[in-house]
Structure 1
Amino acid sequence: MSTNFEIGTDKLWIGRHAADEDILVFDPALDQPPSGNVTFFSLTQFRPRSFAPKVAKERIRGITDAKEFSAAKKTYTRWPELKAKQEGVDSRTRTEALELRRSAMLQRHEAYLASLGELAEIPLTKAGRPAKRRRITNCLVCQRVLETGMDLSCERCSQSICTCGACACGASTQQVA
């Protein structure tokens, strides 16, 4: 376990990048790029990272603590499983955030229609309606840019719902600024 990375080593080598503290594994079995750079595997990002040889020598210091080295080596052998687990959590988090955003938009849309006196017993929205053609417009109320076919659309006017909750319902009663 040397502290400096040596170009041309044929052994598994584990170090830490001085700038971002990323734990990097040099595995001679990894394909090296033809550019002459050195490829390490990042245990923080679960992906390959390439560095110029000078950077590899000067900025990546070997891990000398036996326990830390052993833990990093164990993580490296399990990285596909760990990455899949991490991506699953990230995907669930994104889905939950999207559902919260969608729910809040629906509530604002209901309030908008109620303010127009147009709340009825028909469905207010449908998700992900494919547009026949893509059109970009501005919200009549808050002037944000809207794209047809994105997110939610109103069943009544068939237009996109803005994040403020407005749609094109009541457009004739709106005064355009």
Structure 2
Amino acid sequence: MNIASLCQRAAVAIDANAPLNEAAHRMFDEHVGALLVVTGENPPQVVGVVTDRDIVIDALARSSAAGADLRIGHLAKSPPVAVRGTADVHEAASAMEQAGVRRLLVVDEDGGVVGVLSIDDLFAAVAEELRLLAGALRKGLAHEHQDRQTPLPPQGQRPVYPYFGTAATH
């Protein structure tokens, strides 16, 4: 499974000179938790990533006077961390761990951004893989039970472990 197939959201960009409130509105309107901070060049160059958490913790924690003139480019985490779309889950998780980030840019062979991968996307992919493995295990046990025609355990009195707070009855 390649990482590009796991990207749940398109990459949404904002100019580095945009004010904080514009970035917050953009996140709200686009239903995203991160924005690519880009230059005004053509094509735009990604210079960083800013998250909703960055805005709340970094910008709002500053005094309102300093925050009023703050541009989104001042908060951007640079350089952004990226992986190729052909990377696997392990490579993406390793990149996140190494950089200490929760989101990665996913790029094609030419460096074009094809999406943003969040740690939630990775959790969902790993959870699905585990669900499939658990299903395979259950089916294997069911087939084994059916093939061997294992008798069901006899009904009646069960053994009791007396050290667990109950005493065996006779």
Check whether TM > 0.5: no
Greater RCO, CA 8 A, separation 6+: 2
**Structure showing greater Rg:** 1
TM-score by length of 1: 0.29
Give TM-score scaled by structure 2 length. Answer: 0.30
